[in-house]
């Protein structure tokens, strides 16, 4: 099971990710420098996942699904309805673009 961060740590990660103009490698580096005394430092993928989670309107530690999905049984015409369902889902859930935020100068 992946270890989870506190709400404050997620907020700091997301702010730093925006400060670094959505550059996950730079955000991981800045986080390590800024919180050098922290018990753990997130990898660059964590910043991407945190941003994606917030963009989808959920908290990063919420589980999207549990386990392996079951295989649906096919019925006549199910292929067409699956295509329709997937295309509707994609249309409604287009990924959000990361806004271009100028870096914060201290």
Tell me which residue range forms the domain holding 23.
1-62+86-96
Q: At what angle do helices 7-19 and 24-34 cross, to 10 degrees?
A: 120
Give the total number of structural domains in the chain.
1
Quick check: is 33 in a domain? yes
What confidence score (pLDDT) does residue 77 get? 55
Quick check: is 67 in a domain? no
Quick check: is 77 in a domain? no
Contact call for residues 11 and 5 (beta carbons, < 8 A): no
What confidence score (pLDDT) does residue 57 get? 84
Quick check: is 50 in a domain? yes
Task: Give, for all 106 residues of the chain, the pLDDT tens digit.
Answer: 355 888 889 999 999 999 999 999 999 999 999 999 988 899 999 999 999 988 888 888 655 554 455 565 555 555 556 667 666 666 666 555 666 667 777 6
Quick check: is 78 in a domain? no
Quick check: is 101 in a domain? no
């Amino acid at each position: 099971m992946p270890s989870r961060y506190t709400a404050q740590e997620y907020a700091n990660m997301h702010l730093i990710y925006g400060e670094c103009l959505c550059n996950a490698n730079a955000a991981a580096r800045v986080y390590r420098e800024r919180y050098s005394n922290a018990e753990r430092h997130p990898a660059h993928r964590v910043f991407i996942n945190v941003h994606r989670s917030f963009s989808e309107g959920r908290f990063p530690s919420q589980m999207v699904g549990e386990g392996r999905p079951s295989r649906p049984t096919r019925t006549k015409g199910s292929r067409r309805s699956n295509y329709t369902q997937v295309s509707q889902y994609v249309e409604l859930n287009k990924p959000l673009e990361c806004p271009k935020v100028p870096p914060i100068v201290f």
